[in-house]
Amino acid sequence: MIEEIKKVYKIFDSENITEVELRNNNTAIRMKIAKKIPEVKIINPLPAVNQVEQKNTVKESEPSIYEVKSKWIGYFTRLNPKTGENYVKLRDVVKEGDIIGHVSVLGVLQDVKVEKGGKIKEILVEEGLAVEYGQPLMRIETNSK
């Protein structure tokens, strides 16, 4: 009988079978063989915490674009009425609270201020053109989100 069990085991091994039941009249044999799970070796593990920190660091340093939008309906100007020069030009660096232009509403100049500092990336409205409420006037590249 031992020889027969060895033969059955060889069948298990060669056919990748894990369980079998043999019946013959009043006799029954059930065999289960647990297969070995292959061992996996990690050669150079990277700590998951460091990967997350690296990703977060990259995201924080990536520049984002902030749009300065008009809060009024009127005519946009970048000219400083006192000096006659533009408040800002392309690629100028501005900080939070800086005035970058005005919207003329019924002859009254309303200050357009920057809410986030950064570098002027794009000027979207030409001098003296009409603007609507919520219309983007400029795009500023900033490092904070």
Domain that holds residue 23: 2-32
Q: How many domains does the chain have?
A: 2
Residues 82 and 18 reside in one and the same domain: no
**DSSP strands (E only) in 78-117:** 93-94, 99-105, 108-113
The pLDDT of residue 49 is: 53
Give the CATH number of the domain where residue 89 resides.
2.40.50.100
Per-residue tokens: 122 = 């794009």
Per-residue tokens: 118 = 């950064």
Per residue in 5-57, pLDDT tens? 777 777 766 666 667 777 777 777 777 766 655 555 556 555 555 555 555 55
The secondary structure element, H or E, covering residue 5 is: helix 2-15
Residues 117 and 67 reside in one and the same domain: yes
The pLDDT of residue 23 is: 75
Residues 76 and 138 reside in one and the same domain: yes
Residue 118 pLDDT exceeds 60: yes
Instruction: Evaluate the CA torsion angle 56, 60, 62, 64 in order and state its sign.
Output: positive
Per residue in 64-83, pLDDT tens? 999 999 999 999 999 999 99
Confidence band of 138 (pLDDT split at 50, 70, 90) = very high
DSSP-derived 3-state class of residue 102: strand
Q: What are phi and psi of 12, to 5 degrees?
A: -55, -50
Residues 83 and 12 reside in one and the same domain: no
| Cα distance between residue 145 and residue 142, in whole Å | 8
